[in-house]
Structure 1
Amino acid sequence: MLYAAYGSNLDHARMLGRCPGATPLGAALLPGWRLAVNRFATIERDGAAAVPIGLWRITEQHRRALDIAEGVALRIYRAVMLDIDGHGPALTYVEQRLRPGPPSDAYVAHLRQGYADFALDGAALDEALARWSIASRRVM
């Protein structure tokens, strides 16, 4: 099964800690979605955007571990299958319960490490972090 990571599970060390034996397959773009960062990362529909993702080959056991890590039973994230152009269907997770930021420095470090691990363009991450920063200033 394919898993499309866009957040902290891009970080190879973090993902392999959660899913030992998962195999990183490379990067892709997910059109029609954009990255958003509150306390944690999620993706949101946006027809004008495309979010960079890292693809992993995972097993059913890995999926169960990810469901736990992403809080599926608690309805924090929901598992969805998305079609990744040129790769077919892939599992990912979309936040259901907004948890306001800010993201911790350690969490942002996982995001940045993951972008480096998959050699992704960091522009989408920088934009998502900037949107959070601007939105948080409006609330204050």
Structure 2
Amino acid sequence: MGDKAPAWLAHPSLTGLEPAAWADLLERYTRYRTDHPPVVIPGRHRGGNTGTSLLSASDQVLATVLTKRWSLQQATLATLFGVSKARIGRAVRETTPDLDALGHTVTAGAIKVTSHDQLAAIAGQRPPSP
């Protein structure tokens, strides 16, 4: 499963992490998820795929970090990732406890971001096409 997020969304000005620290967080998250797989209760229906497909581990962490750092609405990220708002919400709910267990705290950004254009400006990018 490949990454769906545009590469510029992982820019240090958006994540609050330099590339080496971002790579380290992703590696630690992936290792943690391997060592602590999600618990699936037999017979419990988890619902259908609410996005176009599942998000990669990198996309899950990125969606969570951006949501928490910039108080982003799920619709903004859903559009950029090409998945449903429900898929972004599920990623944030599932990833947050894992990041907490890793001792990773997301530093809040200076403003509340409300649009793709604002994200792009913070990263020094052109606004994405609608």
What TM-score, normalized by structure 2, do the two folds share?
Answer: 0.32
Name whichever structure is richer in helix by fraction: 2
What TM-score does the superposition give when structure 1 sets the normalisation length? 0.30
Structure holding more strand per residue: 1
